[in-house]
């Protein structure tokens, strides 16, 4: 999917979330018992974005040529494909997992360590999956809403999923300099690649916290539902 199409899809998702936010607000609030703490963490993340990530993202996009930025994103995406394939296997989606691991093989070899997403040009479409989704497919409820420092919106189930990802990620066991450098680069790359989406959210809501919470809940529910249907 091209970036222009992705942005259009995101814009539609934001519009739908805004249109339905009042209807689901009460339901979401029941799943947000830590709202005062969450709002404090959300405000901290917003401040961090303003004073650090947005300026760095602006410089990142201005200084690095687009092919370089794309290559960095592809390398991290190639690593993600390993975890996506693992989660598809855990969800009982063998065919999808096969595509994921083919992507890893093709991009790691022909794609020069993942710098070039050759697999997508061969019809091997990138999937979407993580441990939080897998737990949801297994029947684990989302639990209460939670805003994590730096990482942003989550819930009890997805937070545990993030923990499993960290424990199973080889970067965790590298030297601190290597581990923090790679993780920091990935976060900056992600922030820089989603500047327009972040600006769209800023302009689409009166209460950005509630808007983000609703959008996250809807997206995660959709991913779990898609995973269950694909596993049948």
Q: 45-62 pLDDT, tens per residue?
A: 999 999 999 999 999 999
Q: Is the pLDDT of residue 5 over 90?
A: no
CA atoms within 13 A on the CB side of 75: 13
Indicate if 42 and 149 belong to the same structural domain.
yes
pLDDT mean over 100-125: 97
Mean pLDDT of the chain: 88
Confidence of residue 195 (pLDDT cuts 50, 70, 90): confident
Q: Is residue 136 part of a domain?
A: no
Q: Considering the domain boundaries, does residue 152 fall inside one?
A: yes
Decide if pLDDT at 19 tops 70: no
The reply to whether 15 and 115 lie within a common domain is: no
57 and 148 part of one domain? yes
191 and 77: one domain?
no
Q: Secondary structure of the chain: what % helix, strand, coil (to 5)? A: 75, 5, 20
Full domain range(s) for residue 70: 66-129
DSSP 204: T
Least confident of 12-16, 54-58, 95-99, 137-141: 12-16
DSSP string of 61-105? Answer: HHHS-HHHHHHHHHHHHHHHHHHHHHHHHHTT-HHHHHHHHHHHH
Q: Which of 102, 129, 156 is the last residue of a domain?
A: 129
pLDDT bin (cut points 50, 70, 90) of residue 9 is very low
pLDDT > 70: what percent of the chain?
Answer: 86
Q: What is the pLDDT of residue 30?
A: 57
pTM value is 0.85
Average pLDDT estimate for 70-92: 97
Tell me, yes or no, whether 200 lies in a domain: yes
Q: How many separate domains does the chain show?
A: 2
Domain-located, residue 27: yes
């Amino acid at each position: 999917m091209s970036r222009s199409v992705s942005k259009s899809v995101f814009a539609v998702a934001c519009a739908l979330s805004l249109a339905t936010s009042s209807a689901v607000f009460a339901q979401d609030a029941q799943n947000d018992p830590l709202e005062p703490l969450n709002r404090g963490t959300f405000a901290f993340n917003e401040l961090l974005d303003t004073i650090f990530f947005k300026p760095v993202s602006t410089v990142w996009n201005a200084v690095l040529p687009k092919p370089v930025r794309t290559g960095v994103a592809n390398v991290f995406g190639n690593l993600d494909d390993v975890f996506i394939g693992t989660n598809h296997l855990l969800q009982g989606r063998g065919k999808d997992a096969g595509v994921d691991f083919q992507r890893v093989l093709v991009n790691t070899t022909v794609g020069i360590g993942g710098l070039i997403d050759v697999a997508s040009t061969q019809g091997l479409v990138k999937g979407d999956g993580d441990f939080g989704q897998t737990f949801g497919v297994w029947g684990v409820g989302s639990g209460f809403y939670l805003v994590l420092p730096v990482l942003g919106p989550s819930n009890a189930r997805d937070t545990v999923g993030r923990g499993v990802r960290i424990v199973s990620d080889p970067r965790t066991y590298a030297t601190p300099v290597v581990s923090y450098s790679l993780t920091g680069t990935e976060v900056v790359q992600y922030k820089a690649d989603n500047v327009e989406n972040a600006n769209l959210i800023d302009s689409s809501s009166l209460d950005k916290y509630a808007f983000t919470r609703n959008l996250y809940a809807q997206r995660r529910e959709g991913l779990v539902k898609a995973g269950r249907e694909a596993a049948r």
